[in-house]
């Protein structure tokens, strides 16, 4: 964007911005509050009539039933009127690779035509790209802008990342950080494979091997983009693992190594 959105959406009047979010555990709420503070925007939480306050397994079972059945959970009425805003930052945790089901109700019940929508989300491993695409598919008459996502395990990184994200998008004044393009992808060296293993080794939902890598310098460190492949898992009782379909085997894994810090992965794209 050539001009700061806070100044350019309407030359005579700054755009009205709403930070609208659903947060089950409070993690997404922290991102929403950081956005609201930086943007000086209005903010409102999306609240289901029947809260998702069971244990992890209960939430999984309910969420999957709603997703597969196209069930829209009932929400408490919003105090804000979406039609009064020019830009809506829409936040959610990622469930099953897409936005949490309360967002499905918002997308179906609210009119986003002509609005700029900025997705933001929290996740265990990834889901920003897939959920943002799903939002764009649901809102063909809105402009869905590039979004922000963060692993719940990296919530402490939010203030600095939000500042860079908002400057890069032109939402707030300031010189955005300009990153170099990633280098050409190449086979991993033993040292690079060790970086990958260190970044993902403690995450129980990933069992993969790095095959190729690209890299680039970032402020205070290096960022790596690994192409990795799922490895077979041992089945209970020693049964042979089932083969994974080719589409599930390859993934992109972003890894950040800040100066003096251990490697961490920031996002997985499958």
With beta carbons less than 8 A apart as the criterion, state whether 171 and 6 touch: yes
Predicted pLDDT of residue 49:
97
Q: For the chain, where are the alpha helices, taking DSSP H only?
A: 5-8, 27-39, 56-69, 101-109, 128-138, 158-168, 190-200, 246-249
Instruction: Kindly write down the DSSP assignment for every residue of 26-70, as one continuous string.
Output: SHHHHHHHHHHHHHT-EEEE--BSS---S-HHHHHHHHHHHHHHT
CA Rg, the chain, in Å?
A: 20
Predicted confidence at residue 31, as pLDDT, reads 98
pTM: 0.89
Cβ burial, residue 188 (10 Å; 0-12/13-18/19+): buried
pLDDT in tens, the chain (270 residues): 434 454 444 445 789 999 999 999 999 999 999 999 999 999 999 999 999 987 888 999 999 999 999 999 999 999 999 999 999 999 999 999 999 999 999 999 999 999 999 999 999 999 999 999 999 999 999 999 999 999 999 999 999 999 999 999 999 999 999 999 999 999 999 999 999 999 999 898 888 999 999 999 999 999 999 999 988 765 455 444 444 444 457 999 999 999 999 999 999 998
SS3 of 160, please?
A: helix
In Å, how far are 45, 83, 90, 128, 220 from 112, measured between CA atoms? 17, 7, 11, 20, 39
Q: Which of 38, 41, 2, 37 is nearest to 18 (CA)?
A: 41
Query: What's the pLDDT at 7?
Result: 42
């Amino acid at each position: 964007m050539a001009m700061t959105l806070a100044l350019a959406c309407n030359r005579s009047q700054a755009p009205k911005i709403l930070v609208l979010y659903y947060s089950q555990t409070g993690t997404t709420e922290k991102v929403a509050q950081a956005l609201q503070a930086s943007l000086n925007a209005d903010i409102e939480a999306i609240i289901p009539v029947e809260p998702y306050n069971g244990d992890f397994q209960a939430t999984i079972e309910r969420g999957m039933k709603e997703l597969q059945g196209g069930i829209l959970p009932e929400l408490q009425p919003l105090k804000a009127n979406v039609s009064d805003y020019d830009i809506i930052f829409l936040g959610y945790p990622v469930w099953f690779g897409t936005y949490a089901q309360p967002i499905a109700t918002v997308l179906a019940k609210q009119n986003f035509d002509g609005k700029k929508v900025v997705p933001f989300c929290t996740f265990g491993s990834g889901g920003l790209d897939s959920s943002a695409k799903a939002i764009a598919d649901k809102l063909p008459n809105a402009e869905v802008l590039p979004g922000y996502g963060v692993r719940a395990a990296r919530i402490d990184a939010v203030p600095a990342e939000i500042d860079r994200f908002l400057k890069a998008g032109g939402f707030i004044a300031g010189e955005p950080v300009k990153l170099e393009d990633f280098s050409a992808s190449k086979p991993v060296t033993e040292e690079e494979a060790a970086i990958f293993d260190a970044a993902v080794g403690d995450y129980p939902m990933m069992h993969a091997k790095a095959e190729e890598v690209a890299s680039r310098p970032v402020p205070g460190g290096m960022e790596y983009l690994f192409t990795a492949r799922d490895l077979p898992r041992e089945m209970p009782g020693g049964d042979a693992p089932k083969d994974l379909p080719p589409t599930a085997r390859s993934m992109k894994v972003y890894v950040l190594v800040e100066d003096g810090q251990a490697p961490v992965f920031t996002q997985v794209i499958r």
